[in-house]
Amino acid sequence: MWKDRFSASVRPLLAEDEWLVAEEGYHPREQIVYESIFGLASGYMGSRASAEEGFCRRTLPANYVHGVFDRSEAFQRELANTPDWCKLKMYYQCEPIAPEEGSEPEDYIRVLDMKHGLVAKHYITQADDGRRTQVEIVKYISRAHGWCGAFKVWLTPLNYGGLLEFENIIDATVTNFIDFPRFRVKHMRTKCVEAMDGGGCYVESETRDFKLPVGTAAGVRICNAQGKDILKSRMFRPYGETACEFVDAYCKEGETICIEKYAALCTGRDTKNDRVRSETEHRLRGFMQTGFDAELRAHIAEYARLWKRADLEITGDAPLQKAVRFNIFHLMSTPSQTDNRTNIGAKLIHGEEYGGHAFWDTELFLLPFFDYVFPEIARNLVDYRYLLLDKARENAKKNGYAGAKYPWESADTGDEECPQWTIEPDGSCYRCYVADYEHHVTAAVAYGGVHYYELTGDDDFFENHGMEILCETARFWVSRLEYSKEKDRYEIRKVTGPDEWHEPVDNNAYTNYLARWNIRKAAEYLEKYKEEKPEVYAAITGKLGITQSETDAWTAHADKIYLPDTSGVIEQFEGYFKLTDAVIDSWDENNMPLWPKALEHVPRQQRCILKQADVVMLMYLMEHEFSLETQRINFDYYEKRTLHRSSLSPSIHCLMGLRVGESRHAYEYLCRSAYVDITNNQRNTREGIHAASAGGTWQCVTLGYCGMTTTAEGELSFEPHLPEQWSRAAYHIRWRGADLAITVTHDGVRVEQESGGQPVVYWYGGKKRTAERKNEKERP
């Protein structure tokens, strides 16, 4: 067992191997990948797993705080890399103690404990003079106090003794894109680097654009195995933008000493700017007073509560079980549970790619997980879009449209953050048209809000926020339509669908269908409120200035939107069938499809090959618009022509494969989605964790293999497709205030109601059933 590789001090802190993701052996060039894989998040901040000991040659150290964005010289506002508190350099006679110092470390293992939300490391390093030192480290970012983090070092000189020296460091020199000189930007201006009364370091920085203050404080303790304080001396020195507190302690040969490092953060988003320092120091002192072990117990208890709601058990495929938990762990750890001013970045909060921006990924890939499992977080995510609705209105007006046009990439202000130009590492530039043409994000925002409401029944959100989003996005689409007098139809020209390798095109099927849905859904809900809640109808129409003639016009426009022939293969966009055609016939070692050789010399825009699901994505979302046979024909056609160069694509192909009976292909796509980061199968995990894969993987298992859906009347329904190798899948959801435990086997579906007043009904096997009651005290 992996936990048995650790000492008796660390072993009790670790879960069973089924909950551990391991790095066995030290691989210097792979550290930037493991920094993402072993990254930790608290809902307030995220910390990449850079070496606590320092002295690592290939590293991307980063600590991101939700909502702390800056632009400066960058192409866009991006999550700013805040001062790095996670460093404790260790020395003996001025020689560093670290994995990359001396000979190759022995018995090296590092594990991500997903059950307990911590990272543990063990190794023995040998210096050039033969000194051997055993090092063990446990790190966590507190779920109980999300603005705090800590790690503990168990240090054992195996064949020597003497004075050991340590540097408690807060490094404010950090930048974004440290390993890309052309793109490197320092977003934080350091205001002060000072000692704290009673020991510890304090650094205050501010973002360069909006001058948002960020306080970072860190302190250390050193004790022996009996818990006695053995810290010998303490001295603070600032080195430019780096705070350094020097401490030391004596250690005998074979004796283990413990060094605990604590850190706390506070920003101007949390309190008044002039109180940031006092609040930061207050948070640190409280954290240290409770102590490492007690705070760790509280942290583990919080993760137990999260896993009680979020765990998804699969019996029959142990590697996949671990990969699914890996995706859930990072996904549920990232968003704030209380802050509706923040969203979830496309690489979660584990890397700087895409700047921490929210995309359509949130609404279509991530939100379903939170809708079902953590609806209180889902409410924050849909509220985020409402809070930025005025900016979406500005965005529409700026581009010559009515209503609200949401940005392709969204940060904290609601402005469009997608750059107009892309600069390659070699310095070459090309025009980026994504924000100009990829307007389907606006329909995705509306879809996410409606889906949240229909799953949760949250009238407060929908009547006060959701309907405003829905109506204003409908107005955008009506203004986006162009009338063809010759063909007597409305068209959407110069647009890009989910497949970004063909831009711009006319009448992308996905976009046209979603635009029609958006317009019709707004008119439908307005009519519903007019009949059932006239006071709500009056409030919405009065606030937005909507008249009956306007909604009649919406319906008339929607009815005339051009939609392609659906009797066979649906043309992805006008002219697609005229492209040079070929099918994929080879795959790499990770089972990723390769370009057909027949198309190697054909320009990408003229090839039939897709980046990701487009028509297939449309059929997944708009299932009732197409016959099952049409869906089957189109899946077969486009699956052979999709390269899946987006992590958004495999999960949708899994879900659609299950729907049309392609179970073998579906399982391959499930694995491709589930393993994307835990095995780095796209070779870009160094940039962060693929959020859409994490959410899409959960959907594959629950909505796909377990067959969970809702009826037209809004009731739960199950039509399972369990793989032969699985004997069981089990998970929990929170359904309109009731906690449900769902178990799916080859013999059927069992739904147990663990809390909630009204009995929950569901459909299975063509029959309406009532969930069984279970003891409420077993639920959090």
Average pLDDT over every residue of 36-47: 98
Average pLDDT over every residue of 695-721: 97
Number of C-beta neighbours around residue 616 at 10 A = 28
Provide CB contacts within 8 A for 354, sequence distance 6+: 345, 346, 347, 409, 688
Q: 487-517, pLDDT tens digit by residue? A: 999 999 999 999 999 999 999 999 999 999 9
pLDDT of residue 98 exceeding 60, the answer is: yes
Token couple for 766: 């063509």
3-state secondary structure of 766: coil
- Burial string for 472-482 (b: 16+ CB within 10 Å, else e) reads bbbbbbbebbe
Residue 683 carries which DSSP code? Answer: S
Lowest-confidence segment of 455-464, 581-590, 614-623 by average pLDDT: 581-590
Q: What percent of the chain has pLDDT over 90?
A: 96
Which residue type is seen at 481?
A: L
In the Cβ-directed half-sphere of 720, how many Cα atoms lie within 13 Å?
20
pLDDT of residue 780 exceeding 50, the answer is: no
Alpha-carbon span 228 to 180, nearest angstrom: 45
Q: 212-262, pLDDT tens digit by residue? A: 999 999 999 999 989 999 999 999 999 999 999 999 999 999 999 999 999
Average pLDDT over every residue of 660-667: 94
Instruction: Report angle CA 343, 346, 352 to the nearest 5 degrees.
Output: 100
Average pLDDT over every residue of 312-316: 98
pLDDT of residue 777 exceeding 80, the answer is: no
pLDDT of residue 436 exceeding 90, the answer is: yes
Alpha-carbon span 408 to 385, nearest angstrom: 12
Which residue type is seen at 324?
A: V
Alpha-carbon span 179 to 167, nearest angstrom: 25
Q: 716-755, pLDDT tens digit by residue? A: 999 999 999 999 999 999 999 999 999 999 999 999 999 9
Q: How confident is the model at residue 775 (pLDDT cuts 50, 70, 90)?
A: low
Token couple for 348: 């979660």
Per-residue pLDDT, 589:
85
- Burial string for 219-236 (b: 16+ CB within 10 Å, else e) reads bbbbebeeeeebbeebeb
Model-level pTM?
Answer: 0.97
**Nearest Cα residue to 659 out of 640, 696, 633:** 633
Please answer whether residues 740 and 718 qualify as being in contact, where contact means their C-beta atoms are separated by less than 8 angstroms. Answer: no
Average pLDDT of every residue of the chain: 97
Alpha-carbon span 13 to 718, nearest angstrom: 39
Alpha-carbon span 208 to 211, nearest angstrom: 5
Per-residue pLDDT, 776:
45
Q: 150-165, pLDDT tens digit by residue? A: 999 999 999 999 999 9
Q: 519-530, pLDDT tens digit by residue? A: 999 999 999 999
Please answer whether residues 155 and 220 qualify as being in contact, where contact means their C-beta atoms are separated by less than 8 angstroms. Answer: no
Alpha-carbon span 370 to 382, nearest angstrom: 11
Q: How confident is the model at residue 455 (pLDDT cuts 50, 70, 90)?
A: very high
Q: Is 457 left (phi over 0), alpha (psi -120 to 50) or beta?
A: left
Q: What is the DSSP annotation of 152-203?
A: EEEEEESS--EEEEEEEEEETT--BSTT-TTT-B--EEEEEEEEPTTS-EEE
Average pLDDT over every residue of 275-283: 98
Strand order in the sheet with 106-113: 20-24, 106-113, 118-126, 132-141, 148-157, 257-267, 213-224, 201-207, 188-195
Q: Of the residues 255, 394, 500, 625, which is catalytic?
A: 500
Average pLDDT over every residue of 20-36: 97
Q: End-to-end distance of the chain based on CA atoms, in angstroms?
A: 30
Which residue type is seen at 395?
A: N
Q: 165-193, pLDDT tens digit by residue? A: 999 999 999 999 998 888 999 999 999 99
- Per the annotation, the verdict on 500 as an active-site residue is yes
Residue 91 exposed, middle or buried by CB count within 10 Å (0-12, 13-18, 19+):
middle
Q: What is the DSSP annotation of 575-644?
A: TGGGSBP-----B-TTS-B---GGGTTS-GGGB--BSS-SHHHHHHHTGGGS-HHHHHHHHHHHHTTB--
3-state secondary structure of 573: coil
